[in-house]
Structures are given as structure tokens and as C-alpha cells.
Amino acid sequence: MGTAALGCPAERSSAVVNQPGSKPLKSLATPYNRAHHRFAVFTACATFVLIIAGALVTSNDAGLSIPDWPTSFGSFSVPPLHGGIKYEWSHRAIAGSIVLLTISIAAWTWRTDRRRWMKWLGIAALGTVITQAILGGLTVLLFQPPWVSSAHAAVGQTFFCIAVAIAMFTGRRWVEEVPQIEFDSRRPSLITLTLLSIFVLYVQLILGAMFRHHGMSWWPHIANSAIVAFVLTWTAVRALSQFSKIEAVRRPAIILVSLLIAQLCLGFVAFLTRVAWGRDAVQPELPMVISTVAHVAVGALLLATAVILAIQVWRQVPVSFEEPVPSRTRKPVAA
């Protein structure tokens, strides 16, 4: 039995492989473009602000304070910003700016980035933000059905992850550095654990959004938090114990654990303020608004960190597996 290390080709992002007489590979390296990267980072940061603005809308029960969409009270001008209108209109204004930023980053990437998959990632970001805008419109026009509002929350965080990924893929480290490769022979593999982390975080995101939008009780979200804590801790411990020498893996793994602890604490506070103490509240109170908005924001950061870790593990830690080598033990056949 022989062993052959196979797995993800770590050089995919940077190597230009042109053999004489052959066609160039479609996945070409691209030079580092500082302005492009900074714009991508700005877009990701602005998206994070948008997530906070969206969380403020839900936490202040202001989602339907403007009854029409895409206009606001029949016009595109700024309405009087009192009561819940200030939250909803600010969310719409920031969202409109994000659409423009995404169109710009998609066009810029399409024109300047040589990596074909990056061009399509820019287009995917644009498609996601348009889907998100449509879901935002539907949630207003259909009076916030829990599934539509929850889809709006989930797609919003998906877009944030894409924006963060674009920022990472355009960074100097990703473009210029040669990955430190270490093969992963343990099972389940680290890449499996990171993908499992993303999955349980998505489930948690949907359960939380369904609770926030009155489509489900609070207990499935609380119950799943134990699963999330277990899977994320397992992932981070594996990453840190086995691949701590790789900075690109070590750093997001440490951030993942730190954010997980913060998120569990915030979740507990949000439960106290909203469910235990705020059940009979006549209006959203400041402690419940602050705790739930912080819980949503840290949740978004946690999901984005899990995505970064998965991408870095995919790049730096190829999975090795044993491939059976046929042994020549067959008996000679008589002629």
C-alpha cells in the first residue's frame, strides 16, 4: 500500500503555468492593486455598518415605519427623520450606497483582475446584493413575513462574507505570498471542520432571525448555540494545535474563539434583556436594543471569520489521503 498526498493545489491563486506550446491557464496571477484592495476593504467595512443599521431597524421594531418601497412616502427625497423612520430610512440609504459600491467593485474587478474566478466573484457579489435589495423590498411590501425577513438577514450576512473574501483575495498577502503548505492527515480534516462551522453558524443565523421576526420560539436558537460552541471550539482547537505555525490559519482561529466567547456572552445578555426581562416591555428598551444589535454584529463577524478560516485552510492545508497502490501479487497465468 503506497501513500500519495493529494488535495487542493495551494498555488492556484498565484502561479502562472505556461508550458511551451500550450495555451495559458485561465487562472492567472494578478498583480497587487493597492487602490482596488483598499476599495474592497472599504466596501466590506461599509457592509458591516449596513448590518448594524439593519439590526437597529429590527431591534427598534421600525421595519414597517415606511410603508412603501423603493420610495419612502412616495418620494426618493429624505423624509422627516423622527421615530422609527430614522432607522429604516438610514438603512435604506446605506443599502443604496452599498449597491453602488458593489457595482463599482464588480466592474473594477472585471476590468483589472486577471483571475477569472475573481471576476465572477465580483459578479456574484453584485447578484447577492441585488437579491438582498429585492428581499428587503419584499419584507416591506409583504409586511415582514418571517421567512422573507429571515432570508433578508441570511443573505445580508452572505454578502458580507463575500465582501470580506474579496477584500482578502485582493490583499497583498494573498496575491504575493507563497502559501506555507502542511498536509492534513487527521480525520475529520480541518477543512471539513471549517465547512461544518460555517454550516452550523448559518443554521444559527436562520434560527436567530426567525426568532427575531416572530416566526419561531427562542429555544431552537439557544439549543443550537451549544452545537455551534462545540463545533467552533473543535475547529479552532484543531487549527491551533496542529497548524499554529501557519499564520494565515492561526490568526483567524484565535479570532474565531475570541468572537465565539463574546458572542455567547452577548447572546446571554440579549436573552435576559429581551426574553426574560423584556417580555412585557411596551417598547424596545435601550439595553435590549444594544445587546441584540451587538449580538447580530458579532454574529456577522463570527461567520465572516469562519469563512476566512475555511478559505485559508483550503489554501494552506491540503488534505492528504491514502491511495491504494495496486500490488503486483497476481500469479502468472499459464499460457
Partner 1 sequence: MNKKTSVAMFGLLCLLSLWILAGCSKKEEPTEAQPSAPATTAAPTAAATPIDPSTAASVSGAVKFDGAAPKASKIDMSQDAACKGTNTAETIVVDGGKLANVFVYVKEGLGDRTFDLPKEAVTIDQKGCQYHPHVLGAMAGQNIEIKNDDPTTHNIHPTPQANREWNESQPPAAAPLQKSFAREEIMLPVKCNQHPWMRMYINVVKSPFYAVTGPDGKYEIKGLPPGDYTIAFVQEKLGEQTQKVTLAAKDSKTADATFKAQ
Residue 100 lies near partner 1 (rule: CB under 8 A): no
Q: Give the one residue of 41, 112, 127, 180 binding partner 1; rule: CB under 8 A.
A: 127
Which C-beta is closer to partner 1: that of 70 or that of 188?
70
495496486: which residue's cell? 326
Q: What is the DSSP letter of 22?
A: S
Residue 151 lies near partner 1 (rule: CB under 8 A): no
**Residues binding partner 1: what is the number (CB under 8 A)?**
38
Residue 61 lies near partner 1 (rule: CB under 8 A): yes
**In angstroms, rounded to a whole number, what is the distance separating the alpha carbons of residues 233 and 200?**
12
Q: Is 115 left (phi over 0), alpha (psi -120 to 50) or beta?
A: beta
Q: CA angle, corner 76, sides to 73 and 77, nearest 5? A: 90
Residue 28 lies near partner 1 (rule: CB under 8 A): no
Which C-beta is closer to partner 1: that of 71 or that of 244?
71
Helices 85-112 and 146-169, interaxial angle, to 10°? Answer: 40
Residue 65 lies near partner 1 (rule: CB under 8 A): yes
Cβ contacts of residue 186 below 8 Å, gap of 6+? 238, 242
> Minimum distance between the CB of residue 284 and partner 1, rounded to whole angstroms?
6
E strand or H helix that includes residue 241: helix 219-243
Q: Give the one residue of 123, 195, 203, 222 binding partner 1; rule: CB under 8 A.
A: 123
**In angstroms, rounded to a whole number, what is the distance separating the alpha carbons of residues 93 and 222?**
33
**In angstroms, rounded to a whole number, what is the distance separating the alpha carbons of residues 37 and 331?**
62
**In angstroms, rounded to a whole number, what is the distance separating the alpha carbons of residues 261 and 270?**
14
Interface with partner 1 by CB under 8 A: which range of 79-87, 232-240, 248-256, 315-323? 79-87
Residue 73 lies near partner 1 (rule: CB under 8 A): yes
Residue 143 lies near partner 1 (rule: CB under 8 A): yes
Residue 108 lies near partner 1 (rule: CB under 8 A): no
Residue 130 lies near partner 1 (rule: CB under 8 A): yes
Q: Give the residues lining the site for partner 1 (CB under 8 A).
A: 60-71, 73-74, 80, 82-86, 110, 123, 126-127, 130, 133-134, 137-138, 140-141, 143, 280-285
